[in-house]
Amino acid sequence: MSKTSNINRVDGFAKVTGSATYSAEYKTPGVAYACLVGSTIAKGRIKSIDTKKAEWAPGVLAVITHLNVDKPAGYQKAKDKHNFGQPLQVFKDDTILYYDQPIALVIADTFERMQYAASLIKAQYLKEDHSTDLNKAKDKEKKKEGDKGNDYHRGVEDGYKNAEVILEEEYTIPTEVHNPMELANIIAKWDGNKPTLYTKSQGVEGTRKSVGEVFGIPAADVAVNSEYLGGAFGMGLHTWPYEIAALIGAKKLNRAVKLVLHREQMFTNVGFRPYTIQKMGLGATKEGKLTGLTHEAVAMTSSYEDFMEGTVNMSRFIYDCANVSTRYRIVPLDTCTPIWMRGPGEATGSFALESAMDELAHKLNMDPIEFRKLNYAEKDLEQNKPWSSKYLLECYEGGMERIGWKNRKNKPGSVREGEWLVGYGMGTGTFGCYRSPTSVKAKFLTNGTLVLQCSVNDMGPGTATMMTAIGADVTGVSTENIIIEMGKSGLAKGPTQGGSATTSSVGSAVNDSCQLLVKKAIELASKTDVLKNIPIADLAFINGSVTSKKDSLKSISLVEVLNANKLEELAIENQSKATEEAKKYSIYSFSVHFVKVLINPNLGKIRLAHVVSCADIGTVINQKTSAGQMFGGAVGGIGMGLMESLEIDHRFGRPINNNFADYHVPVNADIEKQEVFFVNKKDPISNPMGTKGLGETALVGMAPAIANAVFNATGKRVRDLPITLDKII
């Protein structure tokens, strides 16, 4: 285990003391305050909009609607290719495509005057019939334009139908919303034709590209700063109308404009996990060998953008099964576009797959883990490649021991603790290990400091801490002497934070740049009088000095080398990317979540007595931040399993629980005992550190683990999330 594997979060002090600056907190002289007024219908056109009272209200600087918007030169739809596009052109015309779509931007000199003025805006509409109910509209399903990955078959199509034992069931998950504590927010300003954004985005470079496309300017002219994020969970993977609206307002006034969404707008304007209906067909021999697996999904998207995610993907490779079919369709509804939400796709898919696996195990009268072990995939049958590493069995074992699996009985309702029914359940998760090209600039300064720069940002997992640890491991510079600069444009280009890929991408780039920097330091030092005539291979960089491996007295500090050469710094900027070798392997993280539930049979109350999350994520770079991610992500999965659902009143096409009083998420009191276990074995292929990715696996498999435990306790199988008490009494 590395010396740095247990360091404290390097930005922890700034965050808990309030000195970390979030987007809307940047001190901007003369900033004006803006808000969005939303449509009160779900579909139709704006017949008239009365802005006069608002315009005349004290302190109002501008009211912008589709009637008076100065469409900036080149104002256009951003292409969706970066997944950062903004196909909804805010204020483009009188068309309403979803409830709460922005119809006006109000800007005033103070926050209070802005809010008052916004309350004075009145619109009349020409309503059209809207469609917001996936259950009613599912026959309008379509394939995503140009998408080839919709249908997959291996062996006999729908081969499960020929099996000795068959299970066919349907599972649904409702719309869930990200709703991080920090509201979506932006400060926008322009210098001539060059905008600067302080915004809540998970991708500095992605936001630059999409804003550049919308306004017809080079991405290089767009400055983005999103150094600190108070959570995001995927909502920051898109550029949203509020960001473009703020930019339009700032341009018109030639003044900085600050816009923070209201909590209610977080439920309607910045994406969500899409409502999804899934059908599973599983077939097995009487002995429990899977012979066929079909996984179909129909999910909602918006009317103006085709959104898809990896809902059915896991079913193609996680088990050893000869005949596998998957299908995925989308249905355009009159809502805002969905976006990836933590554990995207796979979290949804695992609910159907891992519930169905539990149901089939029950039908076969088998222990659900024995059933999974019997169908363990020795290689990836989808890609026909070996795993780079796979310690899934260790996750099963680790979890069984910690949760007390031996106390579980296959027959539901047969274990009690006092008046409580006891149930044990588990669910398997997985997520691909991705790595995107990433640049990091590493430099030694004359004060002995190592500076690492990358435009990647951190929505919470601890990216700066990971960079610090890897930088310290490679260079030997102590962690206190490492400075991380990140989260803004102008630095070496980093990836979007997301897809559980940040450590793999950015960590590798830190590793490579630091190695090159050390090499450069040794080369430079070898030319000094102290070290001349010593072969480079005999020199090492130790404790900030270049030293002969054979004679430690022959040593010169890098600071002296820099001073001797009149250099202020020694720097390397290098881009790292995945190796060709890695393409020969299937690289996935694996997780298994175990839960023990206690259920009161009279009240239907569900208590989570014990939750254990086990994962094979390759090397664990930092025990604290990794455990923190796993705890937090698993809690997200508990919300998915037991509480979260955005309820839509389909008569009006609008949500009825768009607030934290009615949209429930778990709190500390909801989880009695939670544990995390990492196998922590290096992957030999994935990247120089041997990490595989963690964030998403924290959620994938958790919701079905709960559903399976509820069944084990009560004999009630709940196939539509969330599992609220009305469904089990």
Which residue numbers are catalytic? 696
Spatial contact of 626 and 463, defined as CB atoms under 8 Å apart: no
Q: Least CB distance from residue 274 to ligand MOS, whole Å?
A: 13
Spatial contact of 179 and 230, defined as CB atoms under 8 Å apart: no
Spatial contact of 290 and 321, defined as CB atoms under 8 Å apart: yes
Amino acid (1-letter code) at residue 283: G
d(CA 459, CA 235): 11
d(CA 106, CA 89): 17
Q: Least CB distance from residue 12 to ligand MOS, whole Å?
A: 21
**Size of the chain in residues:** 729
> Backbone phi, then psi, for 199, in 5-degree steps?
-145, 160
Q: Which is nearer to ligand MOS, 521 or 699 (CB)?
A: 699
d(CA 116, CA 591): 50
Q: Least CB distance from residue 229 to ligand MOS, whole Å?
A: 10
- DSSP letters spanning 114-178: HHHHHHT-EEEEEE------HHHHGGG-BPPTT--TT-EEESSTTGGGGSSEEEEEEEEE--B--
> Backbone phi, then psi, for 351, in 5-degree steps?
-60, -45
Q: Which is nearer to ligand MOS, 233 or 396 (CB)?
A: 233
Q: Least CB distance from residue 218 to ligand MOS, whole Å?
A: 27
* Closest to 7 in 3D by CA, of 440, 343, 445, 484: 484
* Closest to 78 in 3D by CA, of 190, 244, 236, 198: 244
Q: Least CB distance from residue 613 to ligand MOS, whole Å?
A: 17
Q: Which is nearer to ligand MOS, 184 or 598 (CB)?
A: 184
Q: Least CB distance from residue 99 to ligand MOS, whole Å?
A: 24
Q: Least CB distance from residue 382 to ligand MOS, whole Å?
A: 21
Paired tokens of 604:
């239907």
d(CA 575, CA 511): 11
Paired tokens of 383:
């890609």
> Backbone phi, then psi, for 121, in 5-degree steps?
-80, 130
Strand positions, DSSP E, 455-530: 482-486
Spatial contact of 159 and 291, defined as CB atoms under 8 Å apart: yes
Q: Which is nearer to ligand MOS, 9 or 342 (CB)?
A: 342
Per-residue DSSP letter, 506: I
Spatial contact of 6 and 622, defined as CB atoms under 8 Å apart: yes
- Sign of the CA dihedral running 198, 204, 208, 209: negative
Q: Least CB distance from residue 322 to ligand MOS, whole Å?
A: 32
Q: Which is nearer to ligand MOS, 342 or 441 (CB)?
A: 342
- Long-range pairs for 141-145 at CB < 8 Å and ≥24 separation? 141/298, 141/329, 141/330, 141/331, 142/329, 142/330, 142/331, 142/332, 143/329, 143/330, 144/306, 144/308, 144/330, 145/306
Residue 601, Cα to own-chain centre: how many angstroms?
36
DSSP element (H, E) containing 657? none
- Contacts with ligand MOS by CB under 6 A lie at 202, 233-234, 237, 340-342, 344, 498-499
d(CA 671, CA 607): 8
- The residue assigned the tokens 């024995």 is 370
Q: Least CB distance from residue 199 to ligand MOS, whole Å?
A: 16
Q: Least CB distance from residue 687 to ligand MOS, whole Å?
A: 18
Q: Which is nearer to ligand MOS, 236 or 641 (CB)?
A: 236
Q: Which is nearer to ligand MOS, 237 or 290 (CB)?
A: 237
d(CA 244, CA 221): 16
Q: Least CB distance from residue 341 to ligand MOS, whole Å?
A: 6
Collect all residues with Cβ–Cβ distance below 8 Å to 227 and sequence separation of at least 6.
20, 21, 457, 486, 487, 488
d(CA 325, CA 161): 12
Q: Which is nearer to ligand MOS, 501 or 509 (CB)?
A: 501
- Sign of the CA dihedral running 334, 336, 337, 340: negative
Q: Which is nearer to ligand MOS, 628 or 715 (CB)?
A: 628
d(CA 97, CA 45): 9
Paired tokens of 635:
């809690």
- Strand 588-599 and strand 606-616: the pairing is antiparallel
DSSP element (H, E) containing 295? strand 290-302
Paired tokens of 89:
């052109």
Q: Least CB distance from residue 495 to ligand MOS, whole Å?
A: 11
> Cis peptide before 87, with omega less than 30 degrees from 0?
no
